[in-house]
Structure 1
Amino acid sequence: MSKIAKLCLYSFAAILICAAPAMAAEGDAPHVMIDLTRYFGIGLTVIGASYGIGKLAGSALEGMARQPEVAGNIQTAMIIAAALIEGFTFFALFLCMS
């Protein structure tokens, strides 16, 4: 099992263990139940964006190391792509929070 899968599994188990007492509380008030879907969405969005930007930067640095003469073009394309990923991330976070 990969490190990322283990980390996700352990994080999910920890969240369920910590949330169990709150979900077991008696009462009909809407604040008793915890809405975890919003927070899972935020977490997945941030993890996906950071993974994507990391892969983008790693590939760009590898390309610059292999062909230093086109480093300026690669860097410009990398910055534009990272900005688009960040814009989509903020949009997804906005949707998760609303």
Structure 2
Amino acid sequence: MTPKLSEELTDALRANGPDGLEVVDPATNRIYMIVDGDTYRQAVEALRRQNDRNAITEGLAQMEAGEGKPAEQAFEEMRERLRFPQAQ
């Protein structure tokens, strides 16, 4: 289901420009942002890339500190957990 914007919200979005529109759910007082789909998708993709970079940076720091486990051991544990055949 894709709800349609009311005329009031459409007018407010147009008046607010490309920055989107902050709206409040009166039942919960939660604040939501209404932005166009392209802006939303770009923001989600940028956040995903940043989270990936952070995870890689953290993993490298752990590796340099001698933490973690060797890759082959980690792969073997994943194979066991996922019940894949043993590596030949």
* Higher Rg: 2
**TM-score, normalised on structure 1?**
0.35
Structure with the larger helix share: 1
Indicate the structure whose relative CO is greater, using CA pairs within 8 Å and at least 6 residues apart. Answer: 1
TM-score, normalised relative to structure 2: 0.39
